[in-house]
A and B are shown apart, each in its own frame.
Chain A
Amino acid sequence: MATVDTPTTSTTARRKVGRLSVTISYAILALVAFVVVFAGVLAPFDPNKQDLNAILLPMSGEHWLGTDDLGRDVFSRMLHGTRVSVLAALLAVALSVVIGLPFGIAAGWLGGVTDLIIMRIVDAVMSFPAIVLAIGITATMGPDIITAMISVGIVMSPAILRLARAQTMAIRSETYIEAATSFGARGLRRMVVPHVIPNIIQPILVQVAVLMGFALIAEASLSFLQLGVQPPTASWGAVLSRSYTFLDQAPMQIFIPGIAIASTVFAFNIIGDEIQRLLDPKRK
């Protein structure tokens, strides 16, 4: 009995949905990037300008997304908040890569005592819950978005570090590494940069995209707890926090930052998978 393996409707449909979600994700991220750059131009109002005669207004032609409890235009606050939230997330992720990548490669490549010391420090960092550590740090340093995101970056760095270490260990025994060693390639410039980094970077970029989503949520959580962005600055977390307080008066407003956070995190995760596909050397 010969069954030919033809793509069934369900796999074709799944593929179509997959392509569609990738396209949507690109669109979301492009929109977010556009807003980050042009928030000042796009916002119809000053995000911090209060108008106590127009508080908690519903959506209207003048205030597209309504106004908050101080009469500030929610649409303008969301646009400016996008910039703050995304830059904060970028800061945290960049920091985690700056810490995680070199130390992860060092641990994986050098092994031995170096590995032991680095990994014990990682274990210590990982034993702190991210938000709790951020709370602790901001409690001592004073609440501030930069401090908060630096602590988020430190807490996230083991994710990059462990991945970089595992990938480095996996490729260390590859024949092309041995071949390079045989003609004297060693050190940062001749071994790590040309051979190690290009061959371990793919899963790390995927992890970076996932961490972007994680950092956005961390920013929102910390700002929600009023440990991140300080008033009157707008961020997605800050808008969310504010609208939560007036949930019974203006129930629609909490959806706006919620949708922004959820869809952007979704987009980063989908793009993470897409990066993996794009970076496969077999596609070249």
Chain B
Amino acid sequence: MTEPLLSLENVSVRFPIGRRRHVTAVDGVSLELREGETLGLIGESGSGKSTVARAAMGLAPIAEGTVRWRGKDVSTFNAKERRAFSEAVQMVFQDPHSALDPRRTILQSVREPLDVMGRGNKKDRREVAAKALEDVGLATQMLSRYPHQLSGGQKQRANIARALVTNPKVLVCDESVAALDVALQAEILNLLQDLKAEYDLTILFISHDLSVVSYLADRISVMYLGNIVENATTESLVEQSLHPYSEALLSAQPLVHDSSEGRRIVLKGDIPSPVSPPPGCRFNTRCQFAQEGCREVKPDLVEVLPGHASACLRVDELYADRLGRTVAS
């Protein structure tokens, strides 16, 4: 197996809240982003998925663990390596409107990464920016417009163009279509697919929407309350999920042609506060299969099928049929 392009090893992110208290937004998460793939990161609001993206970008303080770029610890980078890293990893933010400075024109915003990195002369930078804008399907007359003069979809295209001007290897999309309506979502997703091929991108795609993620991603990681609970290829996850939380997510998907063979698993209550997470398995408060043991022991992420890992104590008994095993009873 080739070395992952970008990897997170046991990364934890904590934010201080008041006196000597902190919230662990991301708790020992490991991720591998392999060259050329699209990795989907899914979870509900407050699960820490955006913080994972920010930690990978160096925008969130990492309390524990390491982020590696091509096998090398990012925190040990010198100025030159750091610059190369920030050129290679670019982010597309959730809200297309607030991600663009309202007082700068689209051209100024899109050209800015090049300005900051001091690439080429002003004319070259303008050309690169104009090319990127053309690639994302924005007409030339948009260059001199201000963000408020563009529609949501156009703004998100401009954001994507800005992320592309440095010719990155990795694109981190943080809920990049969540603020758009469904027709536009499809448009932007197709655009990302096209750009991925054109620019040879590796994508980390973060979303709460399973249908969006499964459309794009080769592999999916499911997050719950700062932990990754399941890791699998998209197909394996959708066909034979091996974690009660992922199952609940899957069952929550409205399907047009659903024959309703599966029952809907409705999770009760909200995601617990990460300030005081429940002991044991983080999901035990809402899991219909939770037992005594689940409240005491925190399950590790274990590879139960080739390329398919699950963090559930009862994985063997709950999914015996999918694992092709028999439970010793």
Contact = CB atoms under 8 A, between A and B. Distances in A.
A3 interface: no
Interface string A167-191: 0000000111011111111000010
B15 interface: no
Contact of A180 (B94, B112, B159): B112
A195 interface: yes
B115 to A, nearest CB: 8
A176 B166 contact: no
A211 B75 CA distance: 48
Interface residues of B, number: 30
A194 B98 CA distance: 16
A232 interface: no
B152 to A, nearest CB: 14
Contacts of B146: 281, 284
B91 interface: yes
B102 A199 contact: yes
Contacts of A182: 57, 59, 86, 90-91
- A interface majority secondary structure: helix
Given A176-B98, A281-B148, A190 B103 contact: no
B99 A175 contact: yes
B162 A179 contact: yes
Nearest to A176: B101
A198 B109 CA distance: 14
Contact of B112 (A178, A183, A281): A183
B98 A175 contact: yes
Contacts of B93: 175, 178-179
Most-contacted residue by chain B among A174, A183, A190 (CB, 10 A): A183
B58 to A, nearest CB: 8
A147 B166 CA distance: 53
Given A198-B101, A281-B148, 12 more contacts: A174-B98, A175-B93, A175-B94, A176-B98, A179-B100, A180-B101, A180-B112, A181-B59, A183-B87, A183-B117, A185-B116, A190-B116
7 contacts: A174-B98, A175-B95, A179-B162, A180-B116, A182-B90, A199-B101, A199-B103
The 6 closest A-B pairs by CB, nearest first: A183-B113, A175-B98, A198-B103, A176-B101, A175-B99, A185-B116
Interface of B: 57, 59, 82-83, 86-87, 90-91, 93-95, 98-104, 109, 112-113, 115-117, 146, 148-149, 159, 162, 166
